[in-house]
Chain A
Amino acid sequence: MTGTFTWNLLADIRDMWAYDAMVNAFRAGTIVAVLAALVGWFMVLRRQSFAGHTLALVGFPGAAGAVWLGLSVTLGYFTFCLAAALVIAALRTGGRRGYSEESAVIGTVQAFALATGMLFVSLYKGFLNGTTELLFGAFTGITADQVTVLAGVAVVVLAVLAVIGRPLLFASVDTDVARAHGVPSRVLDTVFLLLLGAAAAEASQITGALLVFALLVLPPATAQLVTARPGRSLAVSVGLAVLVVWVALFVGYYSPYPIGFWVTTTAFGAYALTSVLTGRTRSIPRRAAA
């Protein structure tokens, strides 16, 4: 979508929100930003970015398969992402935990997902434009129904996260002690992968499967640079993700390029800026604050 940009930003926004499609895009984008920022915060802390990236990519064959079979794309995303989360969880707990082995397993899932996605694309002829959208995102086609589904899933995921958040933090930072304190770390591993799968499936629908990662990783990573307090860090992560999505939608409305590109660019810009700024302040020796 390409409107005409004026320097009166308020007028621009009013102009933009006159379209239902844009309002839906802002609603969906905000939901996805909040969800990705919170789930992604735990993902970054747990160093499961690779798993998160893979779950996001799995959305691509999911969506492509749904198109090929004539089913709902949203259904395709969720089915594949959640199923892949279960597969990764099963493979993780099957072997003894070791990062290199785990990444080999996840990498295999990832390659398989991309291959399957391309297979579905070639099975469904005349899908070429759709492929770009699935991989790099689109925001014009979001319907009110889709927004409802996104909101419903987000509420469930966030409710689960609110309940397990503290033990999950404990198990992520300090697994052995958490287990000694009765935290079921294995169960939490699986539950978290499912939450991550759901978040990835949601974000895929805005940013495209390849660029989900930007929303899942960059705002939380930036927030963790800003502060080491978990509560504040989560809040900064949410604020940043929402800002990134809004800026991206705003710019995307006036430009012909995919929304995923703008999300990634804005998020990366914020991260780079923050690491330069915090890197500079950290190199100055600070006195101990009480």
Chain B
Amino acid sequence: MSTAPRQSAATRVTGARVPDEPTARPALVEIVDATVVLGGRTVWSGVGATIAPGEFVAILGPNGVGKSTLLKAVLGLVPLARGTVRLLGRPPGQANHDVGYLPQRRSFDASLRIRGLDVVRLGLDGDRWGLPLPGPRSRAAAARVRELVDLVGAGGYAHRPIGQLSGGEQQRLLIAQALARRPRLLMLDEPLDSLDLPNQAGVAALISQICRTEGVAVMIVAHDVNPILSYLDRVIYLGQGGAVSGTPGEVITAATLTRLYGTPIEVLSTSDGRLVVVGQPEAPALHTDRHPEHA
């Protein structure tokens, strides 16, 4: 759950930043009234959001609304036309060392002859200049890579060329790569994309487990909220006019979603209090069966 000591995290809405709020733990990410213009087109404007340490937040919204752009803006990969973004209290691009980033739909070419282990290792020290000389530092790095590979359960295939692995296997290794530098924030852009249902559930559980046990905050862009619904502290819904944020229970309502997606959407509630979204564009009806466990 959100640990931000705010009276009502639930009703925080776009751009509404409470000034000088006495917070024990400063926000990891603070976006205030931000606007991004790409190729002469305004992608979104007037967006505001905050992410507190340890929070598991989903970023939702229709295709092309600028979810990926939002992550890139926080990382400083895309410039802001207006407004401000702070990452760990610093301007974008200056605190990326504490962020693990998994960009959208990154599948490696089948002919790429680099092992999964090497790709994970690059996330650890790939930005260092100079040759990786053998020594204590190199041994520590190799040990960390093994630990990460075990953490995501990729021990069976991490030594194979990454181009030959399946989408799900690649995705797990990329999550390991994103975790390499013990980040305080994970930014995952559609990590469940192209995974089958058991793998979606497995990877979602893995991410949430990492979020809880390592105290890492997670910003996850998702097309289909169902596989992660039960783990979410908060969702940020992105629309052309700005963002709406709140607990899943508040934002994932028929009225809000219908407005955001522009198609009729129903939201059902299961007996254990979970939400099931039906009729979301591109979400097959199968998804209603996703949370059967009543225990």
A residues at B contact (CB < 8 Å): 45, 47, 162-167, 169-170, 173-174, 176-183, 224-225, 227-230, 233, 288-290
Contacts and interface: CB of A to CB of B under 8 A. Distances in A.
Given A228-B115, A288-B157, A289-B159, A169 B127 contact: no
Contacts, number: 88
A174 B109 CA distance: 11
A31 B132 CA distance: 23
A180 B114 contact: no
A265 B233 CA distance: 63
Contacts of B177: 174, 177
Interface in B99-147: 99, 101-103, 106, 108-109, 112-115, 118-119, 122-123, 125-132
9 closest A-B pairs (Cβ-Cβ)? Answer: A170-B126, A176-B103, A228-B161, A181-B127, A224-B113, A180-B101, A228-B113, A170-B122, A228-B115
Given A173-B119, A177-B177, A183 B114 contact: no
B75 interface: yes
B160 interface: yes
A166 B125 contact: yes
B87 to A, nearest CB: 11
Interface in B70-93: 75, 77, 93
Contacts of B130: 162-163, 166
B114 A182 contact: no
Chain A binding site: helix, strand, loop or mixed by DSSP? Answer: helix
A178 B96 CA distance: 11
Of listed B97, B119, B127, B177, residue having the most chain A CB within 10 A: B127
A45 B109 CA distance: 11
A45 B93 CA distance: 27
Given A170-B127, A233-B113, 12 more contacts: A166-B125, A167-B126, A169-B122, A170-B126, A174-B106, A176-B106, A177-B101, A178-B126, A180-B99, A181-B126, A228-B115, A228-B160
Nearest to B159: A289
B156 interface: yes
Contacts of B113: 224-225, 227-228, 233
